Structure 1
Amino acid sequence: MTINRRNLLLSGAACTGASVFGFASLDEAFAQATGRLTVCLYPEPPSLMLGLTQTTPAFIVAGKIYQGLLTYDFDLNPQPGLAKEWSVSEDGLTYTFRLQENVRWHDGAPFTAHDVVFSTQECLPEIHSRARANFASVESATALDDHTVEYRLKTPFTAFLQVFEASGAPILPAHIYKGTDYRTNPANESPIGTGPFRLKEWRRGEYIHLVRNEDYYKEDLPLLNEIYFQIIPDSASRLVALQNGTVDVTGYDNIDYVFMPAIRESADFGITHDGYQFAAPLATLEFNTRSGHVADKRFRKAMLHAIDRDFIIENIWFGQAAPATGLVSSPTRYYKDTGPLYPYDPGQATALLDEMGLQPDANGVRASVKLLGIPYGDMWTKLGEYVKQSLSQVGIDIQIENTDPGNWASRYSNWEFETTFCFWYQFGHPGLGITRLYHSSSIAKGIYGSNTAGYENPEVDRLFDEAIREIDEEKRAAMYGRLQEILIEDLPNAPLFEIKWATVMRKGVKNVVTTAIGICEGFETATVE
């Protein structure tokens, strides 16, 4: 590859000041403009077609292949993606996007506004549950010309600018998918996108190999020649691979957090918690509030009072978490700090159980509750064991039910549990990440990411409905603030902690985290020495 340094200098901001571990200068960026980056990946995604597969591992890889109209900075402000400009009418009903020009699909076909209309109005609403909900408010979508798309909404949907990132609304090639069965189209195995990298090889169980898109519309980008995603199932092996240089980057919880203190002390690695603001995962103790003891909010409050979340953060998550202060994660827009949240107080827990008339038997047991263990790794197993031990101190007998990931998801979605753990993505806005969990219209058996708690509150429904339509920013913020107060009082689920996922990079790796999307972003300006 021959790099035109003059054009790189002219493009300026694309390579400077954009990341947590940024370039010292454009000269340094130019010097590092070739190379191979290796990223740890686990579990292996079932597919890279983002319309069909929304798992995080799929997004880590396919976020370099597909693109959305927008991305988001660390403060969750929209930034250009395939759209270079956008405007919103004063009544909040019309959104107009001006698209990047000279963009081509990986097969050479031109990208146009017709691809955007097809993706968001035909394909994704059929195969992508989140997109189906996000675009339900659209009355019409029109390609005004090849590089302009206009959306007219039925009613204001004030989270609309937050729905266009690549996992929620990946833009797909209409010339490949239109008129086909989206789920069985052969292109699903060889994805065709507009992103800075294209798929070269996928050796199942070993690695996924992406190579530079030589026709990328941003001149002289990407800077890397290739990316290998190394599939490493074993946690200890992932750590060894990072230490010996087999992999350059790992993210999320791919490294067991027990090893994070030592990694933080090493000069061989860089760590950042940026890049997770859009997801902003919030770990909760989930309740099926339809029956049993957990149907009574006093019991739910007693359980939360009996759990020492500081102990969990320090001894199970090893500092990779922060205490939750509500059912909205703090990086999310309209977050409100509702103050002290059911602090660890076994005495208060016992008082609430006494109030319910739950007296201890000869063995000290007041009540038994089944906990469906979440099979997502050792930390979650340890969390279940801790909660069992901690709640036993106030007379609540926790019976842990262990299962595999598929069965867990099925039982959870079909309300076949009393309690379980989960962690919820916020998607930058409570209207996207929170409404689905607590609005009564979202009570849908068999649907993951819905109101599995069975929580119903007419005032909460009204506030959610009004807040998403309210175009006055101050009034909207007040509504979301009131919602958070009600949810903390009703406690349909117990917020435990905000997960502080980490991206770990070997020394010499730069610009892999440039937005709130983190390592799921395109790696346009990433380099490795």
Structure 2
Amino acid sequence: MQWMRMLAFAAGAFCAALMVATPPVAAQQRGGTMVIALSGEPSALVGFLHTDTGGHSIAANIFSGLVGLNEDFEPVPELARSWEISKDGLTYTFHLDPNARFHDGVPVTAEDVAFTFNDVVAKYHPSRGSWWPNVESATAEDEHTFVMKLKKPFPPLLTLLAYQLRSGAEILPKHIYEGSDPMTNPANEHPIGSGAFKFVEWSKGSHVVLERNDDYFMEGKPYLDRLIFQFIPDPNTRILAFERGEVDFIDYTAVPHNEVARLAKDPRFKLLTGADAIAVQGMWLLNVRKGPLAKNEVRQALSYAIDVNEISDKALFGAGRPAHSFLNSNLKWAFNGSYDVYDRDVEKANELLDEAGYPRGDNGIRFTINILWAAGRPYDGKSAEIIRDQLRDVGVTADVKTYDRPTFIEKVFDQWDFDTAMQLYSTGPDPAISVVTRYHTKQINHSPFTNAMGYSNPELDKIFDEDASEVNEEKRKENWDEAQKILMQDLPAIPVFEFPDGHLANARLMDAVTGPYGYFQSRHNAWFKD
């Protein structure tokens, strides 16, 4: 019970979760196709290759994890029907559902789970460095028993495994991947999982089609016949398709916020709201490797130069909140906004830039930087434009550049070819899972959504490392208070806004969101009401 209480704490039990009522089983109707609009095309459909939300919103339906989370942030069975945690918190024993089959009919065994972790996640997943080094072993004890042993206690482990975006814990078929290079295996584009829906088609530049898995191990599910993920980068086109009934669901990262108030009044639609477990922040990433941004005084000056209240209000049409920390305020147990000392102060910004050795030239310009953003997310584009305009007051010229999402990810996270970039970052369900991978020195690697900024602070690394095995709640709060203080002083990125978490859905669509992740979850519970 102690470890379950600790898990609840680590999962963010103090946060409000999405509350979507589940109707009686008799009310659930079979059939139909759910069309989901994505703001861009993912680079891959398998989770170990990336931590891109668009790709995971598809992969979550194809693959199964060991465990999931319900709307109360409690671990619930997926492939693992049950599990035990040793008293010392070091050994986790998972008992797999013997009825689970991959889409090609081959049974899912503990050997598949062990292979996924040891041969794929441990070697290739972008966030592996933030947790896998603490794993002593991951083994198949028998056909349906998988055991993971840790070197030190890590209370958020079940939460991490349920957060497949960050853990990569989508179980792969060993018989498909063994003996190959997982990064180039053909199954990456024609994935075979054990999830509620089977892969049918990926029409590049257009859509992905999945169909019902009649042999899904959760009896009687899924209810839908088909899922279609439509790539619609233009927000106006996206919302028009939704109003025409051509799209049934738009997740909160793709919702055009200027349309929410109007559509919420239309009886054909509904807004699914709640405090999403991901606790997303809109961040302005700063490449600290060279040039003006390598100086802390310059980064602080840029923070004084911008007005996050204006950015949040205009970019999100009043739907968001200005950010005051590197953690979202929904994470109430860990959030500390008292270090937000950067209210807009143009005089202070100019003073710091002068002291840093970047005086205005004859043309009034100190230096030029670029701001990259990914098409399909207009709030990022609007934020970049507002920042550009605000920086003019301190003699900094900003060149705003737009790229399709795969190119944006490549330039920022693989090539590090950027000065600054707009990017959503999750801070939940536990910062030990989401935040560490952004700012730890060991996370400076050429992988999506890791420490692309090149930021390193040994003092912060030590706090991160110690917190990973800390079980005392008050001590963890102290750790994250200090971590936020350091990050707000060093500013490898600048928090801009807290992202709203409302999803748009067809009013007939039921149980489209049944857990705290919302946008990347299996739709095995979803159904249409006549």
Cα distance in 2 for residues equivalent to 1:321 and 1:520: 21
Give the C-alpha shift of residue 355 in structure 1.
5.5
Offset at 1:509?
0.9
* Aligned partner of 2:119 among 96, 119, 122: 122
Partners of 1:134 and 1:163 within 8 A in 2: no
SS at match of 2:311: helix
**Whole-Å separation in 2 of the counterparts to 1:420 and 1:139:** 37
Whole-angstrom distance in 1 between the partners of 2:329 and 2:21? 25
Matched, 1:111 2:108: yes
Residues 14-51 of structure 1: CA distance to partner in whole angstroms, max 9, x if unpaired?
A: xxxx974434544433xx23333222234233442333
Q: Give 1:120 deviation, angstroms.
A: 0.9
Q: How many residues align?
A: 507
CA RMSD after TM alignment: 2.8
Quick one: distance in 1 between partners of 2:451 and 2:204?
A: 35
SS of 1:312's equivalent in the other structure is helix
2:191–2:199 Cα contact (<8 Å) kept:
yes
CA displacement at 1:497 relative to structure 2: 1.1
Instruction: Please give the alpha-carbon distance, in whole angstroms, between the structure 2 residues aligned to 1:449 and 1:106.
Output: 30
1:491 aligns with 2:491: yes
Structure-1 separation of matches of 2:324 and 2:218: 42
Counterpart Cα distance in 1 of 2:66 and 2:350 = 52
1:41 partnered with 2:34: no
- Matched to 1:122, the amino acid is D
- Map of 1:438-477 to 2, 5 A cutoff? 438-444=439-445, 446-477=446-477
Deviation per CA, 1:84-123: give whole Å up to 9, x if none. 3233333332122222332222222222222111111123
Give matches, 1:164-243, under 5 Å.
164-165=161-162, 166-167=164-165, 168-243=168-243
Kindly tell me: are residues 422 and 172 of structure 1, through their superposed partners in 2, closer, same or farther at Cα, counting changes over 3 Å? same
Does residue 82 of the first structure (1) align with residue 83 of the second (2)? no
**TM-score under structure 1 normalisation?**
0.86
1:420 aligns with: 421
Q: Provide the identity percentage.
A: 33
Contact kept in structure 1, 2:127 and 2:437, CA below 8 Å: no
User: Once the two structures are superposed, what CA deviation does each residue of 1:402-426 show, in whole Å capped at 9, x if it has no partner?
Assistant: 5565554444344443333222233
| Contact 1:275 1:514 (8 Å CA) reproduced | no
Deviation at 1:333, TM superposition (A): 8.0
Larger Rg: 1
Conserved in 1, the CA contact under 8 Å of 2:305 and 2:349? yes
State which drifts further: 89-98 or 114-123.
Answer: 89-98
Which AA in structure 2 matches 1:303?
L
| Per-residue deviation, residues 106-143 of structure 1 (Å, max 9, x unmatched) | 22222222211111112332332224653232221222
Q: Cα offset for 1:328?
A: 2.0
**AA matched with 1:60:** S
The code of the aligned residue for 2:372 comes to: G
Which residue of structure 1 lines up, in the alignment, with residue 390 of structure 2?
A: 390
The Cα shift of 1:501 comes to 4.1
Q: Contact (CA 8 Å) 2:130, 2:436: kept in 1 or not?
A: no
Residue 369 of structure 1 and its aligned partner are, at CA, apart by 3.5
Contact kept in structure 2, 1:275 and 1:517, CA below 8 Å: no
Equivalent residue, structure 1, for 2:430:
429
1:28 aligns with 2:13: no
Q: Would you say 1:299 and 2:305 are equivalent positions?
A: no
Aligned residue identity for 1:164 = L
Q: Which residue identity lines up with residue 50 of structure 1 in the other structure?
A: G
Whether the aligned pair in 2 keeps the contact of 1:275 and 1:518 (CA below 8 Å) is no
Identify the range of structure 1 (330-339 vs 171-180) with the bigger mean alpha-carbon deviation: 330-339
One-letter amino acid of the counterpart of residue 421, structure 2: T
Name the residue aligned to 2:373. 374
Q: Is the 8 A contact 2:388 2:399 kept in 1?
A: yes
Sort the Cα spacing of 1:272 and 1:92 in 2 relative to 1 into closer, same or farther, 3 A.
same
Distance in 1, matches of 2:100 and 2:332, equals 32
Structure 2: segments with no counterpart, 5+ residues = 1-16
Q: TM-score, normalised by structure 2?
A: 0.86
Distance in 2, Cα, partners of 1:500 & 1:186: 37
Q: Which amino acid letter does the alignment assign opposite residue 236 of structure 2?
A: A
The 1:115/1:323 distance shift into structure 2, 3 A limit, reads same
Relative to structure 1, the CA distance from residue 110 to residue 412 in structure 2 (aligned partners, 3 Å threshold; closer, same or farther) is closer
Alignment-derived partner of residue 505 in structure 1: 505
Tell me the distance in 2 between the aligned counterparts of 1:120 and 1:186.
20
Conserved 8 A contact 2:140-2:146: yes
C-alpha contact (below 8 Å) 1:288/1:294 kept by paired residues: yes
C-alpha contact 2:65 2:161 (8 A) present in aligned 1? yes
| Structure-2 separation of matches of 1:286 and 1:204 | 29
Equivalent residue number for residue 345 of structure 1:
345
Residues 219 and 450 (structure 1), Cα distance of their counterparts in 2 relative to 1, 3 Å cut: closer
Q: Which runs of 5+ in 1 are unaligned?
A: 1-17
> What is the Cα deviation at residue 229 of structure 1?
2.5
Q: For residues 318 and 435 of structure 1, what CA distance do their matches in structure 2 show?
A: 30
How has the CA–CA distance of structure 1 residues 92 and 221 changed in structure 2, closer, same or farther, with 3 Å as cutoff? same
Aligned pairs for 1:203-352 (under 5 A) are: 203-274=203-274, 276-278=276-278, 280-332=279-331, 335-339=334-338, 341=340, 342-352=342-352
CA distance in 2, matches of 1:163, 1:117: 17
Does the Cα contact within 8 Å between 2:412 and 2:418 map onto a contact in 1?
yes
Which one-letter code corresponds to 1:458 in the other structure?
A: P
Q: 1:84 to 1:333 in 2, by over 3 A?
A: farther
Return the letter of the residue paired with 2:464. F
**How far apart are residue 305 of structure 1 and its match?**
2.4
Give 2:519's aligned residue. 519
Residue type of the partner of 2:419? E
